[in-house]
Structure formats: C-alpha cells, structure tokens
A and B are shown apart, each in its own frame.
Chain A
Amino acid sequence: MIHTMEISEIKQKLNIGKRKKQKSSPLAVGLCFMAAFLICLPLWMIPTGALMDDMELHQILTPVLNGSDGYAVWHPVPFYPTVEHFYRLLIGSPAFYKLFWNSVGMTAAILAGQIVIGLPSAWAFAAFRFRGREVLFGLYVVLMLLPFQVMLLPQYLILQKLDLYATPGAVILPAVFSTFPVFIMYRGFTQIEQEILEAARLDGAGEMQIFLRIGLPLGQTGIRAAMVLSFLECWNLVEQPMAFLEEQKDWPLSLYLPQLDISQAGFAFAVSVIVLVPALFVFALGQDALEEGITYVGTKK
C-alpha cells in the first residue's frame, strides 16, 4: 500500500500519466511517424528477410556484396516467400540449439548469481547506515561506469588464477558481480520509507525478517527492473564470451550470428527472429517494472 502511494507520488511529481491531451500539429505527427518508420525499418527487415529466398536476397544485396554501383532496395514484402530458412534453422541446425541453451543457462546463472550476491548488497546499501558506505557505494558506481575493456585484463588475470578461464564461469562470475543491477535494486529499495523499517525493528522484527517481509515485496519493482535489464545484457553478451571463452561449444547464442557470412543472409535473419523472441517475452513480462526502474535511476532520494 505504502509502495503504491510512493509510486503515485513519484508519478505525480514527474507528471506521468496526468498529462493533458494536447492537440498535436500534423507536421509534428508526420515527422514522428517518419522517425518511427525509420527506426522500425531495420526491425521490419528481420522477419521479411527471414522469409525471402536466397535468390531474392542475393538480388537485393548484390550492390552491397559486390561493392558495385547502386543501392540495395529492400522489398517490404518478400516476392518469393519461403520458410526454408526457418526449417533449416529449427530442424537442421543443432548447433543453434546448443548455443541457445548455452545462453539460457548462462543468463539464468548470472541472474541467479545477481539475486544471491547483488540483492543483499543493494539492500545493505539501502537499509543500513555504516562507516564507509558512501565510499563503497561510490566504488560501485565507478565500477558500473568502467567499460569492459578497462576491466578485461584484471578479469582475465583473476579468471586465470581461479582456473575459470575458457569455462562458462569466466563469463558468469564477473557478470554475477556486476554493479549495475545492484544500483537499480538499490534505487528500488531506497523508495521504501526508513520509518517503515524503523517501525518494524521497534516491533521486534529481525533484519532478515525485515528484508524478506518488507524489503523484497516493496523493492520487487526494482528487482524486476534489474533482472530485465540484466537479462537483456546477458542475452546479448558478445565481448565477454569472445574474450574469455575459447571453445565454440561454450559460446552463447550471441556469437552464433557473427559465424554466418553474408551468403547466409536469410538464415541469419531467421536466427535473429528466434533470438529476439525470448528478449521480447522478458521485456513484455517486465516492461512496467523496467519503466519504473528507469525512473528510479533518475530519482534522487
């Protein structure tokens, strides 16, 4: 209840959901539609390309492939639609499934690790006041801001020491300790009023009880938002697997597409469609939480 009130207050402050309907000019609407069209065009190319046969794709992509004069003119609707690429992908490509389940496993492990490691960290930052908290949190933020390339060598050395290099753990372990979900979850937990926590303590609730009974239910939006963002990040990992995994059998699905050359464009489009599906499901499941989570990031409490 309190949580709902908090959200309503925030929304009120940000004027979300209470905007007055304003009459838009046709020009603005047209420009918006034009921009939306341009943004969505690549997305449209994925399913249409997956349904085109190789001959049509070759015809379209010839100027790109040969580097000759002219432009690739995309067909909004395939002239010769075919499900050949999907058939080949779904029936004749066991390697795709191998990498798909690698990605599923890797993502699940990372998310589980982040729940186990990151969630208590975020709660600690949000619920407790201790010496060096600000410094420690600052370090978290700094770590969050550091690009992967900066952390590559230290991570490599540590993974070598731990004998995790060239194993899935080399990707999972650093991701488990990612600070970004901690930051998002922390922001979610900070939305809980300290008075509520104090009241619970006065009522004799232990810290674990407070975390489980109050923290988790009230901070679930932040947790979900963190998980959605983490899922999307993990599902699309490219640099970490390329840097830390040597054997193809350990690769995630995100490295499958780079293996395909342009002559397999139709197949690559079909792969893209299937790769998109889990991300779309997760996004649909966590869209509301994601929106709120993003607002937490921009809110100072």
Chain B
Amino acid sequence: MESKKKVLKGFGLFMAAMLIMTFVSRTVYVNQMPQVRWNYPAAASIRNTLTVDGTVEAVNSQAITGMEGLLVKRVCVAAGEQIEEGTVLYEVDMDDLQAKLGQLEAEEEVWQEQLQAEKKAAATEITRAQEDYDTTVAELDRKIAEQTALLEDALEDLDLHLFRIPEEDSSDEIWIAWADERTRLDRVIADKKRSIEEAEFEKEKLLKEANRNIEDAQSAKREVDGAYSVSFSGIGQIQERESKIKTWRQLVVDEGKVVSQQEGTILEVMLQSGVRMGADAVMRYADAQSSLVFRTTISQDQKAKVHTGDSVRLSFPGSSEEVNETIDSIVQENGSYTVTIWLEPGVAQGRTEGVMEVVSTSEVYDFVVSKQALHNDGSTNYIYILEEKEGILGTEMSVRSLTVRLLDQNEDKAAIMDDLLQSDMKIVVESDRELKNGNSVKVE
C-alpha cells in the first residue's frame, strides 16, 4: 500500500510537471513567434521621384592653352568661377620666365647672325651669276659676230666668183676649176651658216642656264631676306620662337600674370601650382554668351520613369537656385541613357554640377502594397499572405509566401500582380522577425 502511495505521488508529480511544462512550452512558443502587421492590397498609382546627379556644361566651351615650358606659380581661379575680362587666371614664376626668355632671346640672336651671313652669301651668289651671264652673253655675241663676218665674206666671194664665170668656149679644165671653186664657196657659206646657228643655239642654251643660276641666287636671297631658313622644317620653330618671345616679353611686363581675354565661366581647371605647363589646354571656360546644358546619365530601369518632355526640377549643390525645366532629349549610349536639358539663358551660370529631380505618377495598379511587404530571394519577388491555419494547437494565424510579379515600385510602395492575388488577402507588411513560409505568427 505504501509503495502504491509512492507511485500515486510520483504520478501526481509527473502530471503536475507536465502541467507546468505545458505553460512553459506555450510561453516559449508564443515568445518565439514573429509578430506581424498586415494590410489589404489597395488600388493605387505609384509616384516615383527620380533624383540623379549631373553636370552643367557649356555648349561651346573654349580651351585656354598653357604657356608651354613655363612654371606655374599660382592658380587664381577654380571651376565654376565666373571671370571678367582681365581676371588673373594664373601666375607664372617670374625667375623661371626670365631665364626661359633669356634663353630664347639668345637663340634668336644666334639665328639672326646666321641669317645675315646667309643673306650676304646669297647676294654674292647673285652677283656671280650675273657676271657669268654677262660673260657668256659677250663671248657668244662675239662668236656670232665673227661667224657672221666670215659668212658675209664667203657670200661676197661667191658673188664675185659667179661674176667670173668662164667663157663658153673655155677649156674643160677652166670650167672644172670654176665649178670646184663654187662648190668650195657654197660649202664655206653653209659651214658659216651652220656655225652661226650653232652659236645662236649655244647662246640660247647658255643664256637659259645663266638665267636659271641668277634666278636661283635671287631666290636664295629672297628667302634669306624673308628670314626663312634654308630648311622648311625650321620655319615653324622660328615663328614659334618669335611668337613665344613676343608673348613672354608681354608676360614679363604683366609681371607673370596671365589674364582672361573675355568674361565667362571657368568650367574646368587642369592646372596646378608648381607644375611646368605643356602644350595642352590648361583650362576650359564658357564665355558669357555661351548656352548651358544639363546632362546626366540614367540606367535602363530609371529610363522607364523618365520621358522626353517631362518636367524636371533642377537644383545646384551649394546654391539655393532651383529651376523647372523640360527634358529635351534622352539618347541611348552604351547601355545607359544620356538625358539632356537645355537651360534658359542666365540659368546655372557659374555652376558645373546639378541635381535633377523627376516626379512621375504611374497608372492605377490593382494591387499596391507597402514596400516592406515585398521580399526578394535574388530572382523572384514574393509576399507573405496572412491566413488562418488549423493545426494541433487549434486555429492559428500563419503566413504563406506568394510569388508575385513586380510591376512598379518606389521607395514606399510596390505594385504587384499575380493570378492568385486577391484584394481581400491580408498581406503581411511588417514583422519583428524574419518570416518563413508556414510560420505561425502573432498579429499586432
């Protein structure tokens, strides 16, 4: 009987323990249960606000080339700065400038001396050519005159010989001798004529050659007189050097300060103090009359929310200026889209960066939920539906995942679609813990 009491007591303790553990287990279960908030999907439109950074660019920007070879002492302007005519853009190192200028001037002096020598040599050459020409002409004229005189003598001899024609009854020997003489005289005349022709031909030829020499000498002299060196490749260097000297001398006068030639806006400065300038542009600016455009790049997804002709609001960092403009063009470039907005005259002067804000309202979608209700596992979008579940513990609220198609979204809302989706479905919009399909939940 005693042992039975013990067994009964043990049984009672067991049942009591089970009762306590029932409460403990239930408490743990409830405490581990995610607490959710739900809402019905609503028909609504999605209001999208797209904000992207962009740049303000001049349509016709101009480059300011550097003083090649000079050392920059100080850069006096920055990008976005408005400049007037005469505004100091940058200063060059005066010591360096003086040294470089002196070097150039020395080179110029050497070159001038060389030029004078070349001029002198050219003049001498002309004189020589002229003398050769004169000598040649005189010699040939003398030869021609000499041959002409001989020809005239031969002709007189022939006339005289023809006059001395033998009598008809003269002996054959006389006739033969006369004929021989005539033949000889004809031959002499022909020889002289040929000599004269040859001399004239020779003269003409030599005169051409002498004239060419004179022309060459004169050409060489003209080149020297025109300060052109004998080599064509040197022309550019000479001109550049002379231009540099001229510019640098003015720069010395200006105490090394390079100033703006007209008013405008500095768009870009590619110059740094202590750097020796090259031949490239050191600054880019837009003059006051130049038009400005705002340009920005948007992605394929963003493109769906922006259309040509849409009104946009432009603001500019560091400024309270805000303007309403219209998108003028959207052009696809390498997978992205470039949005261009032509700015009204006077807008965004002195600005290089801007922010574009586009607000668009979509069509009315049947099912719009809070963005928090939408989940994504990397490839698919899904939501959790709250529904009653009959289980061992009775009727509980549980969540079931439903794959949906995302139609549109903004920061707060998402428009979704699925054949199984209904307007009376309770959609979980918030949970204090990560949910899994089939989880029992507490409803807030």
Contacts and interface: CB of A to CB of B under 8 A. Distances in A.
B163 interface: no
Contacts of A91: 21, 24-25, 28
A289 to B, nearest CB: 10
Interface stretch (A198-206, A209-217, A278-286): A278-286
Contact of B18 (A93, A95, A100, A282): A100
Interface of A: 90-101, 104, 247-249, 251, 256, 277-278, 281-282, 284-285
A284 B10 CA distance: 11
B14 A277 contact: yes
B378 interface: no
- Chain B contact residues, majority secondary structure: helix
B7 A281 contact: yes
Nearest to B24: A91
A93 B25 contact: yes
Interface string B12-32: 001100100110111011000
A92 B29 contact: yes
A128 B8 CA distance: 35
Interface string B401-436: 000000000000000000000000000000000000
Contacts of B15: 104, 278
29 contacts: A90-B24, A90-B25, A91-B21, A91-B24, A92-B25, A92-B29, A94-B25, A94-B26, A94-B393, A95-B393, A96-B25, A97-B25, A97-B26, A98-B393, A101-B18, A104-B15, A247-B390, A248-B392, A249-B391, A249-B392, A249-B393, A249-B395, A251-B392, A256-B392, A277-B14, A278-B15, A282-B11, A284-B4, A285-B8
B394 interface: yes
B21 A95 contact: no
Given A95-B391, A248-B391, 10 more contacts: A90-B24, A92-B29, A97-B22, A98-B393, A104-B15, A256-B392, A281-B10, A284-B7, A285-B7, A285-B8
Contacts, number: 62
A248 B390 contact: yes
Contacts of A97: 18, 21-22, 25-26
Interface in B128-169: none
Contacts of A95: 391-393
Contacts of B14: 277-278, 281
A93 B390 CA distance: 16
Nearest to A93: B25
Contacts of B29: 92, 94
Interface string B55-73: 0000000000000000000
A251 B391 CA distance: 10
B28 A92 contact: yes
Closest 6 CB pairs of A and B: A95-B392, A281-B11, A97-B22, A249-B394, A94-B29, A284-B7
Contacts of B8: 285
A50 to B, nearest CB: 16
Contacts of A248: 390-392
A193 B266 CA distance: 126
A94 B22 contact: yes
Given A90-B21, A281-B7, A281-B14, A98 B392 contact: yes
